Amino acid sequence: MAGPGGGPPRRSHTKSRKGCETCKRRHIRCDENFPQCRNCTKHNCRCPYMDMPVQEERAVTPEKADLLWTPEIEAEIERWQQTGSFPFPDLYIYPAPAPQFFSFEDLRLIHHVASVSSELNAHDAGNFTIWTRQIPLFLKIGTDYPFVMHALLALSATHLAWLTDCPLTANIAYEHRGIALKGLHEAIGGFSRQNSDAVLAASLLLSWQATEWRGWTQLMHGTSSVIDAMQPWKNESQFGDFISEQSTFPTAPPSPAPGHKKLSNPRKQDLDSLQQAYAQLQKVEAHLKENGEDTKAIQQLMSFVRGVRKVSPSHTAAQRFEMLNPLRAWLFWLPVMFLQRTRGSPSALVILAHYYTVALVVEPLFPEVGAAYFGSLSLCPIEEIARRLFSINVSQSSDSDMQTPLHLMEYPIDMVSTFRSRMGWVQPERTASFPTFHGNEYNMGETYPSAISHSPYGNPAFTYSQEHLMTMPPDPMSASAISPLTLDPFTNHYLGIPSNLSMPTNRACIRCLNIRSHTYPAFLLAVLLACPLRLVPPGKEKSGVFTFLLDNLGVKDVQFEEMITLDADYLRQLGPVYGVIFLFKYPTGEKANADGTPKDGQYDYAAAENLFFAAQTIQNACGTQALLSVLLNKTGEIDVGTPLKDFKEFTAGFPAEFRGECLSNSELIRDVHNSFAKSSPFVDETQRTATDDDDVYHFIAYTPINGVLYELDGLQPAPIAHGASTFEEFPEKVIPVLQRRIGRYPAHEIRFNLLAMVRDLRIRAREVGDEEMLYREEQKRSDWQFENALRRHNFVGFAGEVLKGVIADKLKDGPEAYTKWVEDAKKKTKERSEERKKKGSADDEDEEMAG
């Protein structure tokens, strides 16, 4: 039966005849809150429930919403209220929500989503879910826009209601959604560039919670309209990477009216695909039973697949949407629960991958209800799970047999490819590569490629070690085949900014090999992945290297912090900020303006005489030069030490070219520079001529000098002025300049990095008495020291050279002999692993008997 106004029918499982008489007369839904429903309370009238005796069959309504309180959570929130310090500093939310503006209950809801995001990030599992990795951004926006915060609080309450099945918790979510919707409508009425991110954030959060067809379609079409309106300034948006990728937010397909009966008939090939999915789920179930693991989750999914087969043209769009409700709920909530309970065990990851895969498989059966949206949200988790399982296998970090999980992942990966092809995404932008498990695509008979020449480009005194040279990922726009062993190094990084694991640390103007042009055997990469270099936490090493460079140069009370977002507020939080150093792919093919002016800003030739600006005369030291470009222009604010002061005074009257020569001949600078680029005796010393396809990277500096924001690039003829900027205005002024520079690159280019030169954060911690911050900063210094030590004791090159020599010798016997050699090695490794397990069990029994 159609609802009022010809709308969709009410869902049968939510009907109730136990509502109060007043609500029945008003034809509104009663929440059945006994003895006074909320509607009667709202209209200030006596509820008929007051005159009714308590019936035995009436469910007992809890007195208080179940928000999964624990004494520890209460203590954390109370401490948050007292100190104002956000309980999850690892989320890097600036500004953080101010506790004085929220009730204790609302703080619990904020705490819940933040704790989930923090916990999964700690286990590097945030990308295995649809929503948790976005929580820091939503919290940040919600701090400034209450309607976004209400939408996020509703999401948190909805998750808790799903966990507890508490109706009062669901009511809390309902109330917050109502407030968020009202605020969203008002914001849309005043839509502008300033509030566009907030409008988009609220639209997404509310669409994730929508369970009714009409409300969901309105939100989805509204979201699409917002994205279209934001195109002119998408590069300035905090959702810029999402907006540029329509695969993440596809427009919901036009749907017929909810009451329209003649929808498409399921095609035989789509029903056959569903049957194949069911057969695949049976394989997963058999694997779980064989290992004695819980099969409830996979059986639940199998039951859903059986039910979906009943879809027919007689179902309206609203009814088809309702059929998908269980799957949508599972996609949003089940992965979090699984990951928290299992810490991402291989079996749990395989189960989750198949939940996401079913969303891809059922999409053709529900084209009228925009199922492609939920399917596209499933792509990233599937690919991330595949990478994780593959990396566990090749790094030999687990003694368990990974062959069955990898074999089971073949089907999800195939479905990802099928879905992309069906959607027309032949060249996906967001995830450039993922492991596939269809045999070895490498030609083992080819000779192995030689590596980059380690000869210095210019002055031999400045010689960067090649020990950290990592291969860059394939060009996302390339149509060439993707290597099954290419693990995307940028996916887990905020805004896709690559870390030290993908870019050589403190070394610019280097040329990186592209992995697609070379062939390496699987276990060679496995050894390389298992070497200490891979253990360095992402995003920390560059900051540590540059900070210790400062220390060794004699600079006091200064450090570097890696920027995780292009946000002026975040940069200001680190203040005082002396300048920033920007790493980017050098546009070797970019043409200068016809009149000789820079692409952005203006050359200031006169300023070169009044500030420190040195031409870059050697090609492999622009990182150190960018650092000095900030330091030597801040001698009034920073204690740079006597040697650097003397160097600046000595070169004060020189032109930029002579300053560059003096820099390359400074014994202090040269020694400090090379101490952080110590050559390894175990690297591949084979010469290779650089080609035009190799990537070149470059460091430049931005800093305010004499009231002007300058770009200091030793490859330019003079400093580039970007307008007026005081020291205090620098965070606000430099961000648009960086955004414009990034905007000159294709939308798929994500290889950028930004370091801020700031005052030692330990000083601020001591000044304000923040012991927790002081502890974190001291721990960070300790980590940096350890990471720098790893750089000096890196045996990746040694392992590579030994393995290449052994492999080359084995290949002389032919591919078949080589394959047999590899398989024998795997077999022996497995036998040794089983022996260790048995030995470990025997040792445990001996200890028990001895006890």
Active site residues: 622, 698
**Which amino acid type is present at position 792?**
R
Give the tokens for residue 191.
Answer: 């839509």
749-773 residues labelled b (16+ CB within 10 A) or e (exposed)? bbbbbbbbbbbbbbebbeeeebeeb
Q: Dihedrals φ, ψ of 41, to 5°? A: -65, -40
Calculate Rg over the CA atoms of the chain: 30
Cα–Cα distance for residue pair 371/253, rounded to 1 Å: 9
Cα–Cα distance for residue pair 4/621, rounded to 1 Å: 72
The 8-class DSSP code of residue 789 comes to: H
- Bridge partners of 752, per DSSP, are 584
Closest CA to 264 of 361, 371, 358, 364: 364
Closest CA to 616 of 603, 629, 630, 633: 629
* Strand blocks (E) in 225-311: none
Residue 754, SS3? strand
Cα–Cα distance for residue pair 54/303, rounded to 1 Å: 38
The 8-class DSSP code of residue 803 comes to: H
Cα–Cα distance for residue pair 146/440, rounded to 1 Å: 53
**Which amino acid type is present at position 80?**
W
Q: Dihedrals φ, ψ of 556, to 5°? A: -115, 140
DSSP string, 105-119: HHHHHHHHHHHHHHH
Q: How many CA atoms lie within 13 A of 694 on its CB side?
A: 18
The pairing of beta strand 720-724 with beta strand 708-712:
antiparallel
Burial grade of 430 (CB within 10 A; 0-12, 13-18, 19 or more): buried
